[in-house]
Amino acid sequence: MVAKDLVIIKGAGDLATAVGHKLFRCGFSVIMTEIPQPTCVRRQVSFANAIYEKRWAVEGISAEAADSFEDMIQVMKSGKIPVIIDPSCKIQERIKAPYLVDAVLAKKNIGTKKNDAAVVIGLGPGFRAGVDVDMVIETNRGHNLGRIYFEGGAEADTGIPGNIGGYTKERVLRAPVEGFIRHVKNIGDFVQYSEAVSFVGNQPLRAEIDGIIRGLIHDGLFVKAGLKIGDIDPRGNIEYLDKISDKARNIAGGVLEGILIKTTNLQKKR
């Protein structure tokens, strides 16, 4: 099966969702793949949350979990974005989408190849444009955010979260130990410095700044020590919670531009 203007996006976290959202609004058909238990932090703006909730909407666009190929087709026909559990993106072998975007953000290439589709795009570090993908989109905040690389790769991961309200690493919540996570606060709650947000096993995870909880991974997951499990926004504006971020919009714009450039060049060669 070959579908014109179909994009498969590997991953359905907040950055991947911004890409899917923009492409869908621009007339592309979109399929998103995920792992069985996504660990997306900004669940309010992640289509991956459909895996847990069955249906999820972000800024007027709806996604729905699909349990099979047939379900996926039905979700697409209903005008929604299907999210299917498919860690290895095996669906591409069956549906032959002309566009493939690797938005897993693993900081390394975990299996994407340049011949997987007519146009293959990788987000962030770990990809080499012209080698394992056609192009790479910059994901680091700064002057190059959203830039398209047709040669080489993106900037190396700094390991430092983006500055929001004057805070970087302080706003990120990381699991203090390995274990099952239990939240005592929810997304949208206001927390103060040193207040417990979650427990990993019996170990409390405390806020390092005052602010609104912008993101938390799904409750009850087993996490490893050091895993990012939450995000606090010191700006305190609750309206930001269900809005795609400026960073994500920049990256999505780069993907759309890259697809249009590559498609135009392919058409000129015919």
Domain residues of the chain, as ranges?
Answer: 6-157+246-269, 169-234
Candidates 2.40.128, 3.40.630, 3.30.70, 3.40.50; CATH matching 6-157+246-269: 3.40.50
Tell me how far apart the alpha carbons of residues 211 and 160 are, in angstroms, rounded to a whole number. Answer: 19
Question: How do residues 221-241 score in pLDDT, each as one tens digit?
Answer: 999 999 999 999 999 889 889
Task: Let me know if 159 is exposed, middle or buried by CB neighbors in 10 A (0-12, 13-18, 19+).
Answer: exposed
For 121-129, what is the mean pLDDT?
A: 97
* Cβ(168)–Cβ(158) below 8 Å: no
* Cβ(94)–Cβ(33) below 8 Å: no
Alpha carbon of residue 1 to chain centroid:
26
The token pair at 111 is: 């299996």
Helix (H, G, I), strand (E, B) or coil at 8: strand
**The pLDDT value given to residue 267:** 62
Q: Do domains 6-157+246-269 and 169-234 have the same CATH topology?
A: no
Task: Report the topology of domain 169-234.
Answer: OB fold (Dihydrolipoamide Acetyltransferase, E2P) (2.40.50)
**The pLDDT value given to residue 159:** 77
**The pLDDT value given to residue 269:** 63
Residue with the two structure tokens 């895993």: 227
Q: Which residues contact 246 (CB under 8 A, 6 or more apart)?
A: none
Tell me how far apart the alpha carbons of residues 258 and 89 are, in angstroms, rounded to a whole number. Answer: 21
